[in-house]
Chain A
């Protein structure tokens, strides 16, 4: 049952989201002068498990529609029409492949919170429309997008596929719609239309690095499109592409080993098999950043001084144009960005930057406060349980120190398809191995139960964990539904997916603060890093095997069932009308067909009076006859076969 939420916690929570929204608006207004703009940026970062992360960020912005007419120089017209037609105030569409590794690649930086997406397609949009029209608009929007990006986003049209979260995903007043397709396969046919939105496709500029084989070889691949539009700032379109690549090292084996050997050296040419020749000419700014993680910085210099581009551990191939430091709330340097400006490079002197390691270095990224993972329990095709487990990473000790009476908030947002029939009253919470009552952990819960063939179930929970908790587990029982044969996909025996749950920690904010630079510098990527963004992490998608009916049976089932019911009906009616006729027969005592019946009766009697044990002789007679018949038939069959085969 839902306990009345304590107002304090709620207000804190709201305030966080509100500040986030306000800050976003502010940044947007700052970034929107009079005419359309396009900026391109690329961020490279070495990852602890010998991989490299590349994050492309393209922003094209259009001023409010009234200032310029319906024509666009840089801004893609399709998008602006989309926004105008469907009155979208905010939209985010992401195609991802592979899982973001929250333990190795970090769970507490802007990259993981805003660019780590669940596998498959995720789409959410905020409309500024009256609530009645939103569902229809959403349906049209999905169709348009699926046409625009060559993806089956239109599966999100049916009401069983999308949901309307209130506060678990993003605070809104009922005008947000959220849908996810975990099974959507992502490949280059989705990338090409995405590139078409850029002013100079992938012909020039940073986008020219997107060489398909090297990108799709990566371990994680997430392409995202984010729209924000308002009357004041016009439309801002952010296109980001995040890939985790494996620098090809000298020796094939010991690929991931972190022990005792150098990190792999890599450069842009290594990673992409392309060289960068100059900027995209229409772009306002075109920059490349190399980010060195907090872990490395801590290892290299304990003092808060600058991190030189050529130190005892690694060396960048070029001298950076600028060094941007990120100071966290304790005013110590956490991570640093080396900025390169692509604009002065050209065809004859292409730009290439790389990192060369001198000494082996082991570091780890900052994890999210809890490592959330989700799995299914039970076996068999009748019922099961969803379990959500939280493992503390002891982050709060580093941030709050370690007061024992403090508590950490976590928001869970989970969409469950209707054929997974969740019993919400069976919610159980175990903290460090002993059961807690719901009221002492759950601050606030909002459930929209799933309607058969109509609505997916949505679960939004605000939990409050004690700081010194090591592990917590939530379990929910469910029954597996039985579907009509038409509702199964062609690969019915693969099972059905439960889309990823989203776990966010409203008290933790992954924003970077770069005190040296001001927001008007015009680097959208850094602006995004500076935005207040709550720490989020997606859990795994789950596979629920459902039992299937026999797809070849419909005719048999119909005939059998109807036969049985006809048997019931006919024999009962027969039993009812029998006596009438008998009585009639009794009344008129006329007998016809005399002899035959006597003969018949005789036969009946004859069989009646032979008991089993004494009737062997008659049986033998009968059996002889039967045997003879059988043998005759067999011989006939054999002869028939013989001749048929000879002829």
Chain B
């Protein structure tokens, strides 16, 4: 069933953001390390824009590390400073709109998933299970989670560019779910261009385009098919639908790859135009992707890598860089093999892993994957340790500012205090991922039992 009065709640969320943007001038969220990282800080973007206006390369001076397109879009807004508001109020208004759009796309994705789920369950003759389970509409839940997630709100208000990155990821997933290859390709290219890590999402996108949205494992359909054929009433259209469900269709994938190429060329062209006579593309790649991969900036964030690379011995640095960057790649293949029938969930797991292991994590990434988590409210109904996780997240997000204050502003604590919260946060995310994956697997197993029984 759908959530009661969904629209008022969503509107309330947007209104809340607007109130914070317009009247919460002295919140100083922009300077919180949990909110804005060296990659996404709008203040650094303003500096890059200033340098560009002064006919210097925006990347000179290791201040700005974002994309040149953002520079040309948001730069002029950062320039004008209205009195009474904080510096970047115009861009914050844009971010509010962006967040709302992202939430709507999540909702649409959720409805697609819902339809697919119902179809597949029906095809498995699990209509009984379908009807009398507490069957919330996942899309509404997910979008509401994304809209009311305090971290999403803080990220949106705290003038950093991660809402746009999140929007791009969501666009890609939506496009892939509804088999719109150009949209998916656009989202993919932009997300990868803005922050390198969504590149690994190519696997779930291709799976989505190939197999269609999430479905129970194909084995079940085989089993069902066999049992159905054994049963004396032959039922062709179901087998036909089964065939339709499980086979991999190449056309949308090729379509997607084609559009991928087009969009890539387009983005590169645009950025080279923006960066004309102020440093070139090479400069851009070095200062964005290079900056991401070799963790240069050691300023604290909610991750653990900053302190690690501030403390690690120099002659080990490159080794650990390779290890930590590989660590993301390592998990891609096993997960893809194991969850290939649920590409959307796969995408969620990937985003969560990226949020743990990326070099400059922020609350915005967590906001994204928590929003996506809502898409699987039905499948993950019996996830374990949710109580512990919920309060753990609350605790960490309250503890982190206090530790930071004690270390940076009071001077009575030291860096270990803040690092401890980073460790706890990473552990929490790990538990979340592991639990969600295993409960999803358990769910599949349960379906299998239902089918076989």
Task: Judge if B248 is at the interface, Cβ distance under 8 Å.
Answer: no
Q: Which 10 A-B pairs have the closest CB atoms?
A: A449-B61, A425-B50, A575-B438, A568-B430, A554-B311, A1-B53, A380-B409, A482-B298, A452-B62, A557-B311
Q: Which of A278-286, A558-566, A628-636 contacts B (4 or more CB under 8 A)?
A: A558-566
Distance of A457 Cα from B47 Cα, bound (Å): 14
Task: Judge if B27 is at the interface, Cβ distance under 8 Å.
Answer: no
Q: Which of A48-56, A166-174, A545-553 contacts B (4 or more CB under 8 A)?
A: A545-553
Task: Judge if B387 is at the interface, Cβ distance under 8 Å.
Answer: no
Taking the nearest CB of chain B, how far is it from the CB of A492, in angstroms? 12
Contact B307 A568 (CB under 8 A): no
Contact A482 B408 (CB under 8 A): no
Task: Judge if B334 is at the interface, Cβ distance under 8 Å.
Answer: yes
Distance of A423 Cα from B61 Cα, bound (Å): 10
Task: Judge if A78 is at the interface, Cβ distance under 8 Å.
Answer: no
Taking the nearest CB of chain B, how far is it from the CB of A434, in angstroms? 13
Q: Which of A483-491, A494-502, A526-534 contacts B (4 or more CB under 8 A)?
A: A483-491
Contact B299 A578 (CB under 8 A): no
| Chain A residue nearest to B440 in the complex (CB) | A575
| Chain B residue nearest to A574 in the complex (CB) | B434
Contact B426 A568 (CB under 8 A): yes
| Chain B residue nearest to A484 in the complex (CB) | B310
Contact B310 A381 (CB under 8 A): no
**13 A-B pairs in the complex with CB atoms less than 8 angstroms apart:** A380-B408, A382-B408, A423-B47, A447-B56, A449-B56, A481-B299, A484-B298, A484-B310, A557-B311, A561-B423, A573-B334, A575-B434, A575-B437
List CB contacts (< 8 Å) of B327-370 with chain A: 327, 330-331, 334-335, 338, 356-357
Whether A567 contacts B47 in the complex (CB less than 8 A), given A450-B61, A550-B416, A573-B334, comes out as no
Question: Number of contact residues on A: which range applies?
Answer: 35 or more
Against B, the Cβ 8 Å flags (1 = close, 0 = not) of A376-403 are 0001111100000000000000000000
Taking the nearest CB of chain A, how far is it from the CB of B327, in angstroms? 6
Contact A571 B310 (CB under 8 A): no
Contact B56 A554 (CB under 8 A): no
Distance of A447 Cα from B53 Cα, bound (Å): 12
Contact A547 B415 (CB under 8 A): yes
Task: Judge if B198 is at the interface, Cβ distance under 8 Å.
Answer: no
Whether A381 contacts B408 in the complex (CB less than 8 A), given A423-B43, A451-B62, A553-B416, comes out as yes
Contact A486 B47 (CB under 8 A): no
Contact B434 A572 (CB under 8 A): yes
Contact A576 B407 (CB under 8 A): no
| Chain B residue nearest to A455 in the complex (CB) | B61
Distance of A575 Cα from B307 Cα, bound (Å): 29
Taking the nearest CB of chain A, how far is it from the CB of B218, in angstroms? 15
Whether A484 contacts B309 in the complex (CB less than 8 A), given A553-B416, A564-B304, comes out as yes
Chain B positions within 8 Å of A564 at CB level: 304, 423, 426-427, 430
Distance of A1 Cα from B414 Cα, bound (Å): 38
Contact B46 A425 (CB under 8 A): yes
Taking the nearest CB of chain A, how far is it from the CB of B333, in angstroms? 11
| Chain A residue nearest to B79 in the complex (CB) | A425
Distance of A573 Cα from B337 Cα, bound (Å): 12
| Chain B residue nearest to A545 in the complex (CB) | B411
By secondary structure, the A interface counts as mixed
Task: Judge if A22 is at the interface, Cβ distance under 8 Å.
Answer: no
Task: Judge if B97 is at the interface, Cβ distance under 8 Å.
Answer: no
Task: Judge if A2 is at the interface, Cβ distance under 8 Å.
Answer: yes
Chain A positions within 8 Å of B299 at CB level: 479, 481-482
Contact B411 A568 (CB under 8 A): no
Task: Judge if A643 is at the interface, Cβ distance under 8 Å.
Answer: no
Contact B306 A482 (CB under 8 A): yes
Task: Judge if A424 is at the interface, Cβ distance under 8 Å.
Answer: yes
Chain B positions within 8 Å of A380 at CB level: 408-409, 411
Whether A452 contacts B296 in the complex (CB less than 8 A), given A447-B54, A549-B307, comes out as yes
Chain A positions within 8 Å of B314 at CB level: 484, 486
Chain A positions within 8 Å of B416 at CB level: 550, 553
Task: Judge if B49 is at the interface, Cβ distance under 8 Å.
Answer: yes
Chain B positions within 8 Å of A275 at CB level: none
Taking the nearest CB of chain A, how far is it from the CB of B450, in angstroms? 15
Distance of A578 Cα from B438 Cα, bound (Å): 9
Distance of A209 Cα from B425 Cα, bound (Å): 69
Task: Judge if B308 is at the interface, Cβ distance under 8 Å.
Answer: yes
Contact A382 B409 (CB under 8 A): yes
* Cross-interface CB contact of A449 among B51, B357, B427, cutoff 8 Å: B51
* Cross-interface CB contact of B414 among A481, A550, A568, A569, cutoff 8 Å: A550
Whether A557 contacts B298 in the complex (CB less than 8 A), given A1-B54, A549-B311, A568-B426, comes out as no
Distance of A425 Cα from B414 Cα, bound (Å): 31
| Residues of chain B at the chain A interface (Cβ within 8 Å) | 31, 43, 46-47, 49-51, 53-56, 60-63, 296-300, 304-314, 324, 327, 330-331, 334-335, 338, 356-357, 407-409, 411, 414-416, 419, 423, 426-427, 430, 433-434, 437-438, 441, 445
| Chain B residue nearest to A481 in the complex (CB) | B299
Distance of A55 Cα from B60 Cα, bound (Å): 44
| Chain A residue nearest to B435 in the complex (CB) | A575
List CB contacts (< 8 Å) of A226-254 with chain B: none
List CB contacts (< 8 Å) of A441-484 with chain B: 445, 447, 449-452, 454, 457, 479, 481-484
Against B, the Cβ 8 Å flags (1 = close, 0 = not) of A334-349 are 0000000000000000
Whether A1 contacts B50 in the complex (CB less than 8 A), given A452-B297, A482-B306, A547-B415, comes out as yes
Distance of A557 Cα from B422 Cα, bound (Å): 12
Distance of A485 Cα from B334 Cα, bound (Å): 37
Chain B positions within 8 Å of A571 at CB level: 430, 434
Contact A572 B310 (CB under 8 A): no
Contact A553 B304 (CB under 8 A): no
Chain A positions within 8 Å of B61 at CB level: 449-451, 457
Task: Judge if A421 is at the interface, Cβ distance under 8 Å.
Answer: yes
| Chain B residue nearest to A571 in the complex (CB) | B434
Chain B positions within 8 Å of A454 at CB level: 62
Chain A positions within 8 Å of B415 at CB level: 547-550
Taking the nearest CB of chain B, how far is it from the CB of A263, in angstroms? 47
Chain A positions within 8 Å of B330 at CB level: 569
Taking the nearest CB of chain A, how far is it from the CB of B435, in angstroms? 8
Chain A positions within 8 Å of B356 at CB level: 568
Contact A572 B331 (CB under 8 A): yes
Whether A569 contacts B298 in the complex (CB less than 8 A), given A382-B409, A424-B50, A482-B306, comes out as no
Task: Judge if A589 is at the interface, Cβ distance under 8 Å.
Answer: no
Task: Judge if A603 is at the interface, Cβ distance under 8 Å.
Answer: no
Taking the nearest CB of chain A, how far is it from the CB of B209, in angstroms? 24
Chain A positions within 8 Å of B304 at CB level: 560-561, 564
Taking the nearest CB of chain B, how far is it from the CB of A355, in angstroms? 52
Taking the nearest CB of chain A, how far is it from the CB of B411, in angstroms? 7
Contact A482 B411 (CB under 8 A): no
Taking the nearest CB of chain B, how far is it from the CB of A436, in angstroms? 14
Chain A positions within 8 Å of B313 at CB level: 554
Whether A557 contacts B307 in the complex (CB less than 8 A), given A425-B50, A567-B427, A579-B445, comes out as yes
* Cross-interface CB contact of B311 among A450, A457, A553, A575, cutoff 8 Å: A553
| Chain B residue nearest to A423 in the complex (CB) | B47
Q: A424-B47, A554-B311, A571-B430 are in contact. List 10 more A-B contacts (CB 8 A).
A: A382-B408, A424-B51, A457-B61, A483-B298, A485-B310, A549-B310, A553-B416, A557-B308, A561-B423, A582-B445
Contact B60 A558 (CB under 8 A): no
Against B, the Cβ 8 Å flags (1 = close, 0 = not) of A312-348 are 0000000000000000000000000000000000000
Contact A565 B414 (CB under 8 A): no
